[in-house]
Structure 1
Amino acid sequence: MDLRIQQSVLSRRPAAVESGPFILGFDPATDSPNINYATPRPGAEITASDVASLVGAFRSASRRPRLEYVVNCAPALEELLLAAGFTVEERHEFLTCSPESFVSPPPVDGFVVRQPENRAERAAMVAAQGEAFGDAFEVSDADVDRLETLRQQGGFEMAAFASDGPCAGAGQAVPPGGGVSEIAGIAVRAPYRRRGLGGTITAALSRQIFESGADLAWLEASGDDSWRVYERVGFRTAGRRLYIRL
């Protein structure tokens, strides 16, 4: 399971660059460390020299050195990174769902969960996610372009719209690779929480993933409330991931 998750991340790094046993993804449209990060090849032997070369590759690209990876795929790497001055950002457990464990929740009255149909709806989706995560910002064309590119490449997007119009929440999933797709960005704006929308959005994305032929959806939960949401639609704890930066 860990190997499949790690391989799926490797397969979708933007503008991928190799540095020894690492794959770096550099997005020329943004310097966000949440998008520009490295991940190790599963099972590769990694040395302190490899870590030093990795840092140099980030510096050459004018990006902050940062990694995200499944812990069991490189169990000795964290010690090397800490010795090189890296700091742990977060440790997350990830959950997985298969067609066999998937549970479809009932619809939520007063809302429709569907794919956004145009740029205006995609902009509303991005804005809702930003607000829900406590990071309200002015949505740019690049933000909308990124969603449209996701869909063009075979990814999925889903938004919840209230009957009176506003986008209440949203989420997306990356294009499946090796039968695996990651669900991310599940967010519901504060006025619309505790109605089941998070689970409904997650389930709608999971359904699309499985209908595409993939057999494994995965995501990360940030707290007890989100864990319960995901478990209700069939997700189960499967492993751990590390976020670490210099």
Structure 2
Amino acid sequence: MDHDVQRFTVTHLRRRPAPVETGGFVLGFDPDTTSPFINYATPLPGAAPTAADVAALVAAFRERDLTPRLEFTPDAAPEAAAALTAAGFTTEAEHTYLVCTPDTLAVPEAGPAVEAPTTDADYLSLDAALAEAFGGEFPQSDEGAARLRRTAETGGAVRLVRAADGTVAGGALCSAPAAGTAELAGVGTRPAHRGRGIAAAVTAELARTMLHERGAGSVWLEYGGQDSRRVYERVGFRPRGTRRYARLDV
């Protein structure tokens, strides 16, 4: 599964508006944002980059005034992991990723109604809801709403749940499948609406869509704490491997 997730990450970054490939790495750049969570790189599975390859990677980030940063599964590219460490990259975090398959998916029998956004207002409202859900870590923006729409229009899926007054209470997105799998991300609920089963509902519906309508053999995600992990496990996600975030700050 590590290799599937790594191949997915490679394809996902190649879909960025301005991707670059150099020395066994794919760098996914989006000129509309400086966010390190969008502008990052990943090694090709099995890549064995040289010191010069890593230097070229760093230079590509520096010339764009971005922090060199990577996300990858180290078991799928162990030589790349070693080369990055030798070049001074440090581990920002390591996350266990969870995987859902058709055999493990468990859609809740009851819960809030889940729908797909259809209008610009829907995408803007969902972007605002996710910005609030994540405490401003990903500020609300027109570009953020546009990225959500682009996800939905390029083979992925976006889902939301509304509050009683019609505003968006929470939602999530799933990227288009690649290498037989798809990444589910951005699961967030506004604080005032937590505890209603929104995260479980949108996660299960997105996984169902990818597995039964878009041809994915699996869906994977990362979690931010034990509470969210329990939510994901209830709808069929199981621990499978580790992803590493690495960066160079000097």
Do residues 234 (structure 1) and 236 (structure 2) align? yes
Separation (CA, whole Å) in 2 of partners of 1:137 and 1:101: 31
Find the aligned partners of 1:125 and 1:18 in 2 and give their Cα distance: 32
Among 86, 97, 110, which residue is 1:94 paired with? Answer: 97
Output the CA distance in 1 between the equivalents of 2:137 and 2:72. 28
Write the deviation string for residues 12-65 of structure 1: whole angstroms up to 9, x where unpaired: 211221111111111121121111111001111123222112111212233221
Distance 1:136 1:78, change over 3 A: closer
What residue in structure 1 maps to residue 132 of structure 2? Answer: 131
Change (3 A) 1:100 1:57: same
In structure 1, the residue corresponding to 2:184 is in which secondary structure? strand
CA gap of 1:241–1:180, structure 2 versus 1, over 3 A, is same
Q: Which amino acid aligns with 2:66?
A: R
Comparing 235-244 and 42-51, the one that deviates more: 42-51
Q: Secondary structure at the match of 2:41?
A: strand
Pick from 30, 33, 48: which aligns with 2:33?
A: 30
Residue 65 of structure 1 pairs with residue 72 of structure 2: no
TM-score (norm 1): 0.94
Q: CA deviation at 1:114?
A: 0.7
Tell me what 2:170 maps to. Answer: 169
Q: Which residue of 1 aligns with 2:7?
A: 7
Per-residue deviation, 1:136:
7.1
* Superposition deviation, residue 137 in structure 1: 7.3
Aligned pairs for 1:48-87 (under 5 A) are: 48-87=51-90
- Contact 1:150–1:156 (Cα < 8 Å) also in 2: yes
Q: Deviations over 1:212-237 (max 9, x none)?
A: 11111000011110110000001000
Contact 2:126–2:145, Cα closer than 8 Å, also in 1: no
Determine the C-alpha separation between the residues in 1 that align with 2:140 and 2:61.
27
Q: Which residue pairs with 1:195 in the alignment?
A: 196
2:219 counterpart of 1:217: yes
- Cα deviation for residue 122 of structure 1 reads 1.1
Query: TM-score, normalising length from structure 2?
Result: 0.92
CA contact (8 A) 1:116 1:122 kept: yes
Q: CA RMSD in A?
A: 1.6
**Contact 1:127–1:136 (CA<8 Å) still a contact in 2?**
no
Q: Distance in 1 between matches of 2:24 and 2:152?
A: 30
Q: Could you say which residue in structure 1 is the equivalent of 2:50?
A: 47
Question: Structure 1: which 5+ residue stretches go unaligned?
Answer: none
Q: How does 1:120-159 map to 2 (within 5 A)?
A: 120-135=121-136, 139-159=140-160
In 2, the alpha carbon distance for the partners of 1:55 and 1:61 equals: 10
**Range moving further from structure 2, 68-77 or 201-210:** 68-77
The one-letter amino acid of 1:31's match is: T
Structure 2 CA distance, aligned partners of 1:193 and 1:243?
28
8 Å CA contact 1:186–1:198 kept in 2: the answer is: yes
